[in-house]
Structures are given as C-alpha cells and as structure tokens.
Amino acid sequence: MHQLLHDAARDALAMGPAVLVQGMKLRRPMDVAQAKCLSVDDKRTILASWTSDFYAVDSQPALRYLPGTPGPVSIDEVQLALREIDRRYGC
C-alpha cells in the first residue's frame, strides 16, 4: 500500500503543471506568459514548475522538459517568460 501511495504522489507531481498545458497548445514558456485563458497565478505556477530540477533533462541541466510540451527548452527561456510576467503585471 505504501508503494502505491508513493507512486501516486510521484505521478501527481509529474503531471501537475502538465494537466494545465494539455490541450492548450502551450508549446514554449512564452506561450504560457502570453496565454489569455490563464490567470497570472496559473502562469507563474506552470513556469515555476518548469524551472524545477524535477523537469531537468538527464545530463543536460540547462534544459527542462515539461510533459505535454513538444520538447526540452532552456532554463533561460523559462526565466525570460517569468520576467515577462513580472514586466506585464508589475510584480
């Protein structure tokens, strides 16, 4: 039972932000920053998750891969999108 709960928690963590991007055609971090259908909090949540080491590509720590997106992006690209949100919303 313990292993089942552990696996479920791991899967929920892995799919967390991916659930928000599925079906929305959010392919790159800047797509998230510019999405009109997401709240500022949702944008920050997705992008902050994308920067997590949890999504780092093995042997390529400067790249992140968020499930539900077409491929890896650089951490710099994700941080640029976060700065764009700060610029737009004055945070």
The pTM score is 0.74
Q: Is 30 exposed, middle or buried (0-12, 13-18, 19+ CB in 10 A)?
A: middle
pLDDT of residue 11: 54
Q: What is the pLDDT of residues 52-63, one digit of tens each?
A: 898 999 999 999
Find the radius of gyration of the CA atoms of the chain: 14
